[in-house]
């Protein structure tokens, strides 16, 4: 099917009336079919002059939608016979190879699981042209009855919308655009979402209870807010010579190294003195390799770490299970409580700036100021002593006036 252009139609006389004859797309046919619409009687009441007949013919063609992109797109989608599952397969392949904003393997795995578990079994055989608000309303109702959480339902619905929107023509325009109505779909509101975090006292216990390399891992997660994949991807050369700064340049997922989650995740994170000292002792004389690794030098498994180390520690503490993101939430909360500049907070955490003003700030390039802020806010929890005679290393602090005078 080629893109349709405007047509004037052909005015012809049949018996006692004039008719306009024009072409229009028809469901199930590759070529457009001819149709004929009565214009006016040849003579008498209602008759028209030749210019009037030509003008009325164009109006009838326009009213029919014969040359409209909407009719063309609808017929094309139906004639192609593309089902939701077929479109989803094409969409997954496209998302894997696109150059703009390439997705991470974890994201692809999540989409594949959504399609396999819920979307294809319920929508797979439905033509893309029939996926509409009513379709999603029925799907949401079924997921709600099955006890899926509001957040999960939102995630699945978003994926359906992306698959439908991915059906485009040769000009990159959506073949079947939708005006989604979440009110009609009855999409549940996300309320009271579980976002566990740790307290400073809990982190003190977690770090003290951890064994081997996991002691530094938990201290580093709580003291920097790194994502677990970023921590697993750290190499010795990512640690500055004085161990006061670590560089984030890669991540690990499912045992494989990859670029970090976003461009903003490529950054440097400054450590407070007590954490620096702990890191320096841990690195020792090593010059290369992963900071945290298995006996074979491979990246640590995030799943094994949480199941065999973190969760047993939390259970012994009488604390509900929580994941690695709890360390990250703790760090953000601690930085905000200590009034760290918002643009520096986002830089350390690996989030993009939210305003034009963030692009003007040069705070992240001022290493001396960054390190002073890191020393000022500290950890908020205690680190174990290096031996039995040492006192626990506590995060240092200073007054706001001392901070400002030092920067000046």
User: For residue 291, what pLDDT band results from cuts at 50, 70 and 90?
Assistant: very high
Report the C-alpha gap between 50 and 11 in whole angstroms.
9
User: For residue 365, what pLDDT band results from cuts at 50, 70 and 90?
Assistant: confident
Nearest to 72 by CA among 1, 172, 128, 129: 1
Does position 391 have pLDDT exceeding 60, yes or no? no
Instruction: Quote the pLDDT of residue 394.
Output: 35
Mean pLDDT, residues 341-350 = 93
Instruction: Quote the pLDDT of residue 78.
Output: 60
Enter the DSSP assignment of 132: S
User: For residue 31, what pLDDT band results from cuts at 50, 70 and 90?
Assistant: confident
Q: What is the CATH number of the domain that holds 136?
A: 1.10.150.130
- Domain match, 269 and 359 both: yes
Does position 328 have pLDDT exceeding 60, yes or no? yes
Q: What is the CATH number of the domain that holds 355?
A: 1.10.443.10
**Residue 86 burial (CB count, 10 A):** 16
Does position 332 have pLDDT exceeding 60, yes or no? yes
User: For residue 399, what pLDDT band results from cuts at 50, 70 and 90?
Assistant: very low
- Domain match, 173 and 228 both: no
Mapped to the 3 state alphabet, what secondary structure does 280-348 carry?
HHHHCCCCCCECCECCCCCECCHHHHHHHHHHHHHHHHCCCCCCCHHHHHHHHHHHHHCCCCHHHHHHH
| Number of folded domains that form the chain | 3
Given 30, 61, 77, which residue is the final one in a domain?
77
213-224 and 325-337 helices, crossing angle to 10°: 40
Does position 1 have pLDDT exceeding 50, yes or no? no
Does position 16 have pLDDT exceeding 50, yes or no? yes
Instruction: Quote the pLDDT of residue 310.
Output: 97
- Domain match, 392 and 281 both: yes
* Spatial CB neighbours of 221, under 8 Å, sequence gap ≥ 6: 228, 231, 324, 327, 328, 331
Does position 401 have pLDDT exceeding 80, yes or no? no
- Domain match, 33 and 180 both: no
Q: Say if CB 84 and CB 120 are below 8 A apart.
A: yes
The better pLDDT of the pair 204, 170 is held by: 204
Does position 393 have pLDDT exceeding 50, yes or no? no
262-280 pLDDT, tens digit each: 888 899 999 999 999 999 9
- Domain match, 362 and 341 both: yes
> How high does pLDDT run on average in the chain?
87
Mean pLDDT, residues 38-58 = 92
- Neighbouring-strand partners of residue 248: 267
Does position 68 have pLDDT exceeding 70, yes or no? yes
The rounded radius of gyration (Å) of the Cα atoms in the chain is: 32
Given 21, 45, 77, which residue is the final one in a domain?
77
- Domain match, 291 and 231 both: yes
Does position 49 have pLDDT exceeding 70, yes or no? yes
Does position 119 have pLDDT exceeding 50, yes or no? yes
Does position 295 have pLDDT exceeding 50, yes or no? yes
Task: Name which of 62-76, 149-163, 239-253, 289-303 the model is least confident about.
Answer: 62-76
Domain extent for 32: 10-77
Does position 395 have pLDDT exceeding 50, yes or no? no
Domain-located, residue 191:
no
Does position 210 have pLDDT exceeding 60, yes or no? yes
Instruction: Quote the pLDDT of residue 269.
Output: 97
Domain-located, residue 387:
yes
Instruction: Quote the pLDDT of residue 132.
Output: 94
Q: What are phi and psi of 312, to 5 degrees?
A: -60, -35
Pairing of strands 245-248, 267-270: antiparallel
- Domain match, 326 and 310 both: yes
Report the C-alpha gap between 159 and 146 in whole angstroms.
19
Does position 97 have pLDDT exceeding 80, yes or no? yes
- Domain match, 43 and 113 both: no
Instruction: Quote the pLDDT of residue 164.
Output: 95
Instruction: Quote the pLDDT of residue 76.
Output: 63
Residue with tokens 């030098």: 297
Report the C-alpha gap between 255 and 229 in whole angstroms.
10
Tokens read off for 223: 């003291």
Angle subtended at Cα 119 by Cα 105 and Cα 94, rounded to the nearest 5 degrees: 40
Instruction: Quote the pLDDT of residue 396.
Output: 35
- Domain match, 379 and 344 both: yes
- Domain match, 273 and 305 both: yes
Given 49, 77, 105, which residue is the final one in a domain?
77
127-153 pLDDT, tens digit each: 898 899 999 999 999 999 999 999 999
Percent above pLDDT 90 for the chain: 65
Contacts of range 131-134, beta carbons closer than 8 Å, 24 or more positions apart: 131/84, 131/160, 131/164, 131/178, 132/178, 133/178, 133/180, 133/181, 133/184, 133/185
- Domain match, 158 and 292 both: no
* Spatial CB neighbours of 293, under 8 Å, sequence gap ≥ 6: 213, 299, 300
């Amino acid at each position: 099917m080629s893109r349709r252009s405007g047509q004037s139609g052909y005015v012809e006389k049949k018996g006692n009336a004039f008719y306009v004859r024009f072409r229009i797309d028809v469901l199930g046919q590759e070529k457009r079919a001819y149709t004929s619409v009565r214009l006016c009687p040849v003579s008498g009441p209602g008759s028209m002059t030749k210019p009037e007949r030509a003008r009325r013919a164009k109006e009838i063609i326009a009213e029919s939608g014969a040359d409209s992109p909407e009719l063309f797109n609808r017929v094309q989608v139906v004639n192609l016979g593309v089902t939701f599952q077929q479109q989803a397969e094409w969409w997954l392949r496209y998302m894997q190879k696109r150059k703009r904003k390439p997705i991470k393997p974890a994201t692809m795995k999540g989409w594949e699981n959504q399609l396999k578990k819920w979307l294809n079994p319920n929508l797979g055989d439905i033509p893309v042209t029939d996926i509409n608000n009513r379709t999603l309303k029925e799907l949401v109702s079924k997921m709600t009855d099955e006890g899926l959480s509001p957040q999960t339902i939102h995630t699945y619905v978003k994926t359906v919308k992306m698959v439908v929107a991915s059906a485009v023509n040769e000009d990159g325009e959506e073949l079947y655009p939708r005006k989604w109505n979440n009110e009609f779909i009855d999409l549940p509101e996300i309320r009271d979402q579980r976002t566990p975090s740790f307290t400073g006292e809990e982190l003190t216990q977690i770090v003290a209870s951890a064994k081997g390399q996991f002691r530094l891992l938990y201290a580093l997660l709580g003291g920097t807010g790194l994502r677990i994949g970023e921590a697993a991807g750290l190499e010795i050369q990512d640690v500055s010579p004085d161990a006061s700064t670590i560089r984030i340049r890669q991540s690990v997922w499912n045992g494989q190294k990859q670029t970090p989650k976003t461009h903003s995740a490529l950054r440097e994170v400054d450590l407070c003195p007590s954490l620096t000292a702990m890191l320096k002792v841990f690195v020792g004389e090593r010059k290369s390799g992963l900071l945290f690794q298995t006996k074979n030098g491979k990246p640590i498994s995030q799943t094994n770490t949480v199941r065999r180390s973190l969760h047993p520690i939390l259970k012994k503490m009488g604390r509900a299970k929580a994941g690695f993101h709890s360390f990250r939430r703790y760090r953000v909360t601690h930085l905000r409580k200590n009034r760290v500049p918002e643009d520096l907070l986002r830089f350390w955490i690996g989030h993009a700036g939210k305003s034009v003003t963030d692009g003007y700030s040069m705070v992240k390039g001022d290493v001396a100021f960054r390190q002073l802020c890191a020393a000022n806010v500290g950890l908020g929890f205690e680190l174990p002593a290096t031996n039995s005679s040492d006192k626990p290393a506590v995060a240092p602090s200073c007054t706001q006036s001392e901070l400002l005078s030092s920067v000046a």
